[in-house]
Structures are given as structure tokens and as C-alpha cells.
Amino acid sequence: MTALPDWMRPPRAEGWFAEDLDRLPEAPRHTELIDGALVFMLSPQRSWHGRVVTALTTAMTAQAPEGLAVEREMTIRLDDRNRPEPDLLLTTLPYDPDRTCYPPDSVRLVIEVVSPESAHRDRTVKLRKYAEVGIPHYWCVEDEAGAPVVHVYELDEPTRAYAPAGIFRGSLHRPVPFEIDLALDRLTPPRSG
């Protein structure tokens, strides 16, 4: 069995803290912190995932009103022990080239494009954690025979839990967090036969 490199050992018995991610240059690019544990995205990214994230980034950026910005693959500091990295987020904060994470009160929408290795975290763990810190909108994008299907959730403030707000195939029209119209069937090219 191969020994772990020193940089992978937590600096304290309680595990890792949010600020530790900024001091781990050896860590893979897409490293998240969930409940004090480092989560690495080591498997190769599927082309479908990359195309959906890129197309959503382009479409959302084109439609976002002034005062809202779309960020790709940036962490959100939920608390001292959680810093997940969604595929996309919509924030009220202006661009800062030195920013490494966002506070949850600046995030209006989180979008996770589900991959086989992240499915459980995206569908359950992150869904709960984003709601608990008050992020108003959460989208989980699933691959349904090559077509993107968006499961939309809105925050129920009194319970701090997400309520399902619809499942969208083909197209998506939402009035919140801003007026959004997406041709979902155009996010990925059709599969060749």
C-alpha cells in the first residue's frame, strides 16, 4: 500500500478547515471540503458534463442582469468545515481576480451538473447544505439519454429546506432568480448513431 503524501494529512485532529484549501497548492484543481474532509474529483470529466457546463455558463452570462455574475467552478465557504465547488453559481459580488471562494449570502443560484462520482453528493448532501445556509435556488442537471434534464429547487425560508419547483426537459423558463429562458435541447449536440 502506498503511503499518503504529507500534504494530504489534515493539519489538526478535527480535519480540514475552509481556509486550508487556499494553502494546498499540491491538491488537484477540483478539490472540495465536505464536513472537514477533502473530496477530490480525480476521474476524467465526461464530454457531456463539460459541454453542459460551458453552454450553461454562456447562456446564463448572456441573460444575467446587471448586478449578477455567473462564476464557474468556484467554491462557496458554507462554514468552517464546508467549501463545496459547484459547477456554476450566480453571485451578487463583483469580479475580483484574487477571490478563491464566495460567501453563501452572495450566492443566488447554484447549479450542479451531475456526474456518476458526484451523484450522491449533488442530490442529497449539497442539496441540504446549500439550503441550510440560505442559498435561494438550486439546480441539479441530470443526463437523461444524452439530454440535459434540470431539477429545480427553491428555498422554503421557514424550514431552510428546498422545495421542488419543477423538472424541465427541452426548455426551461423561470422567473427567478431572474427571467431565464434556456433551450435545454441545444446545450449538447445530438448523439451520433
pTM of the shown model: 0.91
What per-residue confidence (pLDDT) applies to 43?
64
CA–CA separation, 22 vs 147, rounded Å?
A: 36
Mean pLDDT by 10 residues, the chain (193 residues): 76 86 85 90 80 97 97 97 97 96 98 93 96 98 96 97 98 97 91 64
What per-residue confidence (pLDDT) applies to 155?
98
Architecture of domain 47-186: Alpha-Beta Complex (3.90)
- Domains of the chain, residue spans: 11-40, 47-186
CB 163 within 8 A of CB 153: yes
